[in-house]
Amino acid sequence: MTLPYASALVTGISGQDGALLAAHLLGQGVAVTGTHRPGRAPDLWRLHGLGIDAHPRLAMAPLDPADAPACAALVEALQPDALFHLAGQSRVADSFRDPQGSVAANGLSTVNLLEAVRAHAPAAHVVLASSAEIFGSPARSPVDETTPSAPLSPYGYSKLVAHAAVGTWRASYGLAASSAILFNHESEWRDAAFVTRKISLGVARIARGEAQEIALGNLDAQRDFGYAPDYVAAMAAMAGRDGGADYVLATGHAASVRDFATTAFAAAGMALEWRGEGLHEVAVERGNGRVRVRVDPAFFRPVDAPLLVGEAAKARRELGFAPSLDLAGLARRMVQADLARLE
């Protein structure tokens, strides 16, 4: 699909979603300016790995989205056709340690960028990376765009501030502003602090004899795990639509952290057997009895929704969104990529 816009501003381009989105946009002929934190060199390892760090249509600019005048100046100078706001505090666990910082990084930064667009580039389409964490622990599952918001964590609240701002600026000022309500979307480009990448990297190290086991938190938490490139492609399509709207992006299938670990080990040829319960549960490798996964209470969150699954019918219908990998395919891709990196 050819996108109907020529230029895009992408905040947080060095992260998983930012780098994948930039690669997708560049592949569609869009000129991309990506932002990085002022005062430090941009982290280019993902852009380099994707082969776009020296792309002639890619430019970089320093920006602190919490700096409203800086947001206004950059938007005024660039006049982008689309603005994708992906920068911010991205870890639920960190939000419990710094709730005020999370709200500022995720909520107030969104207001700054919406105001910058309203004042200086009102024809631009703004797309926010919202989060399924805004739903908390919903009474019914799967959830869709009409499900009430009730976040359980400071991170979820910070994303709800941003999500609500997008809807408010759309209704109050007529901006073309959309929220991508992202359920768990993973890839080989995910940061190692996230549980799926922690698992895939741990499996790769164990397979190479460089480690013996992985320590995890809540094994029972069930999430909707999809493949990140599918999600950024949907976000790019959102910016090409007239007007703004909100879209749940999800696979519609739940898997526990235990399921993901089992599948990831299987991708490296190791079958797990789970024994025990609660904090004493372990996974041992079938055939040799070696413990490969232990539970560590240090990795538990103060509050954790037991189940988050999304219904993406609207995105399938209007954006052509279609998950390309199931859980086994996702885990296999991540483990194989980590094995290749370690080799």
Catalytic residues: 133, 155
The sheet carrying 272-275 orders its strands as: 214-216, 291-295, 282-285, 272-275
Partners of 282 in the β-ladder? 275, 294
In order, the DSSP letters of 26-51 are: HHTT-EEEEEE-TTS----HHHHHTT
Q: Can the peptide bond before residue 69 be classed as cis, meaning omega within 30 degrees of 0?
A: no
Query: Strand 125-131 vs strand 82-85: parallel, antiparallel, or unpaired?
Result: parallel
Is the bond preceding 154 in cis, omega lying within 30 degrees of 0? no
Contact predicate 187/333, CB 8 Å: yes
Quickly count: other Cβ atoms within 10 Å of residue 16's Cβ. Answer: 24
* 189/47 Cα distance (integer angstroms): 10
Q: Which amino acid is at 97?
A: R
Task: Say if residues 183 and 250 touch (Cβ distance below 8 Å).
Answer: yes
